[in-house]
Amino acid sequence: MNLDFSDDQKFLQSEARKFLEKEGSINRSRKVLEEKHNTDQDLWNKIVELGWTGIRIPEEYDGLGLGYLELCVVAEELGRFLAPVPFSSSVYLFTEAIIKYANEDVKKEILPKLVSGEIVGTLAVTEDLFAPTISNIKTTSENNIVNGKKIAVADAEIATHSIVVSNSSSGICLRLVDHSSDTVSIEHQDTIDESRGHFSIEYKNSPSILIGDESNGWEFYENLLNQAAVLFSFEQIGGSQASLDMATSYAKERYAFGRQIGSFQAIKHKLADMYVAITLAKSNTYYAAWALSTESSDLSVASATARVSSTKAYQLCSKENIQTHGGNGFTWEYDCHLYYKRSKLLSVNIGSLPNWKEKLVSSLEKSNTY
């Protein structure tokens, strides 16, 4: 047994950390948030140059041909530094959909361009102010033509393509749509965390290419979410750890009643609770990474476990980081709110905590874990 990353993977992680630190990723995130830029194009270009968009793409399509574990370590750093880039949309969701479900022609066309950065993708699912399910998708696709409106699509503006979860006469299917078509209109939507842009996308008779088959799209979509949940969990752990680090150093610097606030047991226990939550989440997420990298049949239970515990950890750490900072924590100037907002964004981006808890128990029922 060895529930740890290899030396090479750890090296990649420390390089990623150095890079994002040097690039001032957290300040860039603040800037995107304040100036409503939706994304940081320059940082994204540099990330593409480093080859991270091609980590999982096989060498025959110009990628690095590495595994999920390499993606996991990068995800943790992107989360720690609040990177304001479309990585999760394009890499964890879109690229994986192409790798797993697209036919050879599409792969040849799309994958090399994902590596080079010419193509950026996102996944368009939600249509209304409640959770999407297999029975409430209204966007249609008939004869390769997509019609409908999606909302809350992350990174849609920088994205050149989207994969659309749509309803056809034979069932739910995934459809690839090129945003350069004038049948596609994309509009910014205000959110409570503008450090990553969200948009509505309207498809009016938009030409599309089928990804996978006509009827099993919902299953594909769920598989994609299960995989992505592991990577989201790594981002959430990175953010949780950054929140705890911030709180810990503040607790050492800040004085009240003639002593460091970190000498009060209330603060010690608060930080210890954060540490405990992160440790459990991290261990569950490492396990899920292993399940993902070995295509274990246990993936749906493992990824939901990782997702639930890392969502809870990030929510706890980001709100208690504010609390530890007292009045300063409630100001725009301190970074605490950037983590608080990102934690909520990540927690709803691929489905909310209650829904992942539900998914976890349903998966348990289907598995032979107990």
Partner 1 sequence: MDFNDTPEQAQFRNTCREWLEKNAEPKSNKKKEDFADIEFLDVAREWQKKKYDAGWAMLHWPKEYGGIAASPIERIIWAEEESKFNVPRGIFEIGLGMCGPVMMEYASDEQKERYLPAMAEGTEIWCQLFSEPSAGSDVAGLRSKAVQDGDNWIINGQKVWTSGAHFCDYGILVVRHDPNLEKHKGMTFFFVDMKSPGIEVKPIKQITGGSSFNEVYFTDVVIPDSQRLGAIGDGWKVAITTLMNERLAVGDANGADVKEAFNWAKKQDDSGESLINNRATRESIADWYCEANGLKNTKLRTMSALSKGETPGPEASITKIVSANKLQDIGNFGIDSLDMAGMLRTDDNEIQSFQNAWLGAPGLRIAGGTDEILKNIISERVLGLPQDKRSDKGMPFKDIPSGN
Ligand X SMILES: Cc1cc2nc3c(=O)[nH]c(=O)nc-3n(C[C@H](O)[C@H](O)[C@H](O)COP(=O)(O)OP(=O)(O)OC[C@H]3O[C@@H](n4cnc5c(N)ncnc54)[C@H](O)[C@@H]3O)c2cc1C
Query: What residue ranges bind ligand X (CB under 6 A)?
Result: 254, 256-257, 261, 264, 266-267, 323-324, 326-327, 330
Kind of pairing between the strands at 259-260 and 198-211: unpaired
Beta carbon nearer to ligand X, 161 or 270: 270
Beta carbon nearer to ligand X, 271 or 288: 271
Q: Which does 262 bind (CB under 5 to 8 A by kind): ligand X, partner 1, none?
A: none
Q: Which does 355 bind (CB under 5 to 8 A by kind): ligand X, partner 1, none?
A: partner 1
Beta carbon nearer to ligand X, 189 or 323: 323
In whole angstroms, the minimum distance from the beta carbon of 251 to ligand X comes to 7
- CA atoms of 156 and 152, how far apart (whole Å): 9
Judged by the rule CB under 8 A, the positions of this chain that interact with partner 1 are 125-126, 128-133, 135-136, 151-152, 189-193, 198, 253-260, 264, 266-267, 270, 315, 319, 322-323, 326-327, 329-333, 336-337, 340-341, 344-345, 347-355, 357
Is the separation of the CB atoms in 197 and 188 below 8 Å?
Answer: yes
Is the separation of the CB atoms in 124 and 150 below 8 Å?
Answer: yes
Residue 20 CA to its chain's centroid (Å): 17
Token pair of 327, please? 């009045």
Q: Which does 282 bind (CB under 5 to 8 A by kind): partner 1, ligand X, none?
A: none
Q: Which does 295 bind (CB under 5 to 8 A by kind): ligand X, partner 1, none?
A: none
In whole angstroms, the minimum distance from the beta carbon of 6 to partner 1 comes to 34
- CA atoms of 106 and 35, how far apart (whole Å): 36
Give the angle 296-302-308 at the CA atoms, nearest 5°: 160
Token pair of 367, please? 């598995």
Beta carbon nearer to partner 1, 1 or 266: 266
Q: Which does 281 bind (CB under 5 to 8 A by kind): ligand X, partner 1, none?
A: none
Torsion of CA 270, 283, 245, 340, to 10 degrees: -70
Q: Which does 113 bind (CB under 5 to 8 A by kind): partner 1, ligand X, none?
A: none
What is the three-class DSSP state of 335?
Answer: coil
- CA atoms of 313 and 239, how far apart (whole Å): 9
- CA atoms of 258 and 8, how far apart (whole Å): 47
- CA atoms of 232 and 306, how far apart (whole Å): 9
In whole angstroms, the minimum distance from the beta carbon of 264 to ligand X comes to 4
Q: Which does 333 bind (CB under 5 to 8 A by kind): ligand X, partner 1, none?
A: partner 1
Beta carbon nearer to partner 1, 59 or 187: 187
Residue with structure tokens 């006509």?
Answer: 214
- CA atoms of 203 and 345, how far apart (whole Å): 25
In whole angstroms, the minimum distance from the beta carbon of 237 to ligand X comes to 23
Beta carbon nearer to partner 1, 2 or 258: 258
Going by C-alpha positions, the residue among 56, 76, 98, 151 that lies closest to residue 346 is: 76
Residue 81 CA to its chain's centroid (Å): 13
Q: Which does 119 bind (CB under 5 to 8 A by kind): partner 1, ligand X, none?
A: none
Beta carbon nearer to partner 1, 87 or 250: 250
- CA atoms of 342 and 321, how far apart (whole Å): 13
Is the separation of the CB atoms in 221 and 165 below 8 Å?
Answer: yes
In whole angstroms, the minimum distance from the beta carbon of 355 to partner 1 comes to 6
In whole angstroms, the minimum distance from the beta carbon of 265 to ligand X comes to 7
In whole angstroms, the minimum distance from the beta carbon of 324 to ligand X comes to 5
In whole angstroms, the minimum distance from the beta carbon of 329 to ligand X comes to 8
Beta carbon nearer to ligand X, 169 or 258: 258
